[in-house]
Amino acid sequence: MYERRKTRQVQVGSVAVGGDAPISIQSMTTTKTADVDGTLAQIYALAAAGCDIVRCTCNEEEAAEGLAQIVPRSPVPIVADIHFQYRLALAAMEAGVQALRLNPGNIRKPEHIKAVAREAKDRRIPIRIGVNAGSLDPDIAEQYGVNTPEALVASAVRELDHFRDVDFDDVKISVKSSNVRVMIDAYRLLADTVDHPLHLGVTEAGPIPQGLVKGTAGIGTLLAEGIGDTIRFSLTADPVEEAKAGRVLLESLGLRERKGLDLIACPSCGRAEVDVIRVARDAQAALEGLNIPLQVAVMGCVVNGPGEAREADLGIAAGRGKGHLFVKGHVVRVVPEAEMVDALIAEAKAIIEEGVEARIAAADENAEAIAAATRDELIQIQGIDANHSADTIERIHQIVD
């Protein structure tokens, strides 16, 4: 759907980042890395939620020791997050991590940065230059401002120059800010400056729902422009929610194949025959746990529902105490209203086992006729304009004219 920015490619363990590789999803554990079992449990939960790469803090010697036990048992590549102590980067590489994240704002001595880069080069381990608006070099902040796109990019370029001094270029870069506008402009500037793969994120986005909105606004805007090779939602929440958000965003943009449920529902109107919010909530709770890669629609009426959601794999529309179950816009069954969610679950499982065409072929013989009769009845009762907007428009014309 989108023309991707051309970048070089780096390899984070088994996951390729940049080039023509799929955009990957990342998150970070919130456990103490020294707690090996607790950290592994969170890593497995993240992997199950769609995370491709997981970052763990390496802030002490015990954390590096933990990584030595975690990395061989992890289902996904592990990135060590390093701050202040460059020797911990060396220790993390010895522990076997597949990548490093260095913050140029708090490891500032060129000789330390180059020592890490030399070791990473020898081990063929990529490094992410992770610039954060809250931890810029003082001289860069003084020259460009504390939280400006120019300052963030200047910090990344300076770090990149240190790497180039030792002929190390196995690098991906992030320039994160909690200000969405600054974040977008910084990545645009960076994309025009380097050809390295970019890791997108709005840092410290906050709790749900505002964190989701801010992260989506920043990450989604750039992805739609073809910028970005790997992403992370930085939420004040269970990190599994970060992985879920990343998966939903990429699937919604058509940038990753759908692996889970995509539930769409109408916003309701005067024609709605059921509590759409309740039915949609119940359907999502029932279907999400099945891990079924289908688009499922919950529509409040049978007049426009099947037509509006005809592209959905499966859907239900309510009308006159019944639920009209449809597959790819074809009504296949009419069930009592109380059985709508159960009917969705059963049909979803049947589609996975038999396929869409087979389920359409197995439709009840009189389902379409019953649905058509109900639609006609509702149109007669409610009219085409259930919200009476035509009357309002006519009154507006009278006022204006």
| pLDDT of res. 303 | 66
- Listed in sequence order, the residues at least 6 apart from 164 whose beta carbon sits closer than 8 Å to its beta carbon are none
158: region left, alpha or beta (phi > 0 left; psi from -120 to 50 alpha): alpha
What number does CATH give the domain 9-252?
Answer: 3.20.20.20
> Whole-angstrom Cα distance, residue 103 to residue 111?
15
Which two tokens mark 289?
Answer: 């746990």
> Whole-angstrom Cα distance, residue 351 to residue 361?
12
> Whole-angstrom Cα distance, residue 51 to residue 54?
7
Distances (CA, A) of 25 to 133, 305, 400: 22, 34, 53
pLDDT tens string for the chain (401 positions)? Answer: 578 999 999 999 999 999 999 999 999 999 999 999 999 999 999 999 999 999 999 999 999 999 999 999 999 999 999 999 999 999 999 999 999 999 998 998 999 999 999 999 999 999 999 999 888 989 999 999 989 999 999 999 999 999 999 999 999 999 999 999 999 999 999 999 999 999 999 999 999 999 999 999 999 999 999 999 999 999 999 999 999 999 999 999 999 988 888 898 887 776 666 788 888 899 999 898 787 889 999 988 766 666 777 888 999 988 778 888 999 989 999 999 899 999 999 999 999 999 999 999 999 988 888 777 777 776 676 655 555 666 777 788 888 87
For 394, counting Cβ atoms within 10 Å of its Cβ (0-12 exposed, 13-18 middle, 19+ buried), the class is exposed
Angle of helix 276-288 relative to helix 340-354, nearest 10 degrees, comes to 40
Q: Helix (H, G, I), strand (E, B), or coil: what is residue 256?
A: coil
Q: What are phi and psi of 233, to 5 degrees?
A: -85, 120
> In this structure, are residues 300 and 307 in contact, taking their beta carbons and an 8 Å threshold?
no
What secondary structure does DSSP assign to 298-325, as a single string? EES-TTTHHHHTTTSSEEEEEETTEEEE
C-alpha angle with apex 243: 355 to 251, nearest 5 degrees?
40
149 preceded by a cis bond (ω within 30 of 0): no
| pLDDT of res. 305 | 65
> In this structure, are residues 265 and 280 in contact, taking their beta carbons and an 8 Å threshold?
yes
| pLDDT of res. 381 | 63
Bridge partners (DSSP) listed for residue 317: 299, 324
**What residue spans define the domains of the chain?**
9-252, 262-382
Task: Out of 3.20.20.370, 3.30.413.10, 3.60.21.10, 3.10.20.30, select the CATH number for domain 262-382.
Answer: 3.30.413.10
| pLDDT of res. 249 | 96
pTM of the predicted model, to two decimals?
Answer: 0.85
